[in-house]
Amino acid sequence: MITRPLALVTGGSRGLGRSTTLALARQGADAIITFRSGEADAARVVEEAGELGATVAAFQLDVGDPDAIAALGRDLPEIARDACGREQLDYLVNNAGHGAVTALGHTDAETLDGLYAVHFRGPFLLTQAVAPLLADGGAIVNLSTGLARFSSPGYSAYGSLKAGLEHLTRYWAAELGPRGIRVNAVAPGAIATDFAGGKNRDDEQSRAFVASSTAMGRVGEPEDIGPLIASLLTGPTGWVTGQRIEASGGMRL
């Protein structure tokens, strides 16, 4: 019996997480996805992946909650065994996140703490909890952002935390390299999701601005990112690790 690879994708119920999960399904991988509040969206991803021949299980997780992450680390082998018939993971995608405006002079500590909890502390603690369950020769992809390279007023904390995650990616690549585990970061540009209230999806003025500052002349779609992440995990990329791979369509070159 051929064992299908198994991935853990945080924030897998919508946007880039959904696109990644379905791309993995098309490439013959099963997945466990997490969601914070979109249970109905997660159920649809499970159904869509099933139509592609994949087994996907969904469960609720707030990546900003250290206790919830610790519980996942304890329960994941049982979750994986019950859902997919195995206890070991092959891939981890640290995707879950949210945006918040942090203009200088108008940002409170609670907003900063919330961004830090989800975009840096959460991936750190989750990877730490999951790493012992990752198969040697596996792979991790961390989701960064084009805003770690170029600035956009109002997103200083978000962009800076993602830049920190990129640096962490290189550390993890060195630490996990002896086990053959690759760790890379994918940095999308402006994508038509519900990030920041969905302005890159729904606001025509914002879409026109993005298109005018992007070499490919349009806003990105989730389907521009998910297959790239899946290929980094499952494709012939075994000699690529510790890298930041920007997928922005050439935004602000």
Q: How confident is the model at residue 1 (pLDDT cuts 50, 70, 90)?
A: low
The whole-number average pLDDT for the span 102-128 is: 97
pLDDT for the residue numbered 188: 97
Catalytic residue, chosen from 91, 116, 155, 158, is 158
What are the tens digits of pLDDT across the range 177-225? 999 999 999 999 999 988 777 778 887 998 999 999 999 999 999 999 9
Beta sheet of 89-94, edge-to-edge order: 56-60, 30-35, 6-9, 89-94, 134-143, 182-188, 244-247
Alpha-carbon separation of residue 71 from 63, 95, 196, 220 (angstroms): 11, 19, 30, 35
The answer to whether residues 119 and 97 touch, using CB atoms and an 8 Å cutoff, is yes
Does position 2 have pLDDT exceeding 80, yes or no?
Answer: no
Single out the residue of 67, 59, 5 nearest to residue 32, CA to CA.
59
φ/ψ (deg, to 5) at 98: -155, 165
H or E stretch including 186?
Answer: strand 182-188
Give the separation between CA 11 and CA 3, rounded to whole angstroms. Answer: 25
What are the tens digits of pLDDT across the range 188-200? 999 998 877 777 8
The answer to whether residues 65 and 78 touch, using CB atoms and an 8 Å cutoff, is no
At 174 the three-state DSSP class reads: helix
Ordered by where they begin, the domains of the chain are 6-189+221-247 (3.40.50.720)
Instruction: Report residue 181 as tokens.
Output: 């585990």
What are the tens digits of pLDDT across the range 126-173? 999 999 999 999 999 999 999 999 998 899 999 999 999 999 999 999
Instruction: Report residue 21 as tokens.
Output: 């999960």
Q: What is the pTM of this model?
A: 0.96
pLDDT for the residue numbered 138: 98
158 included as an active-site residue: yes
87 contact partners, CB below 8 Å, separation of at least 6 = 77, 78, 80, 81, 133
The answer to whether residues 23 and 230 touch, using CB atoms and an 8 Å cutoff, is yes
What are the tens digits of pLDDT across the range 3-36? 899 999 999 999 999 999 999 999 999 999 999 9
What are the tens digits of pLDDT across the range 32-88? 999 999 899 999 999 999 999 999 999 999 999 999 999 999 999 999 999 888 899
99 contact partners, CB below 8 Å, separation of at least 6 = 155, 158, 195, 196
pLDDT for the residue numbered 57: 96
pLDDT for the residue numbered 202: 82
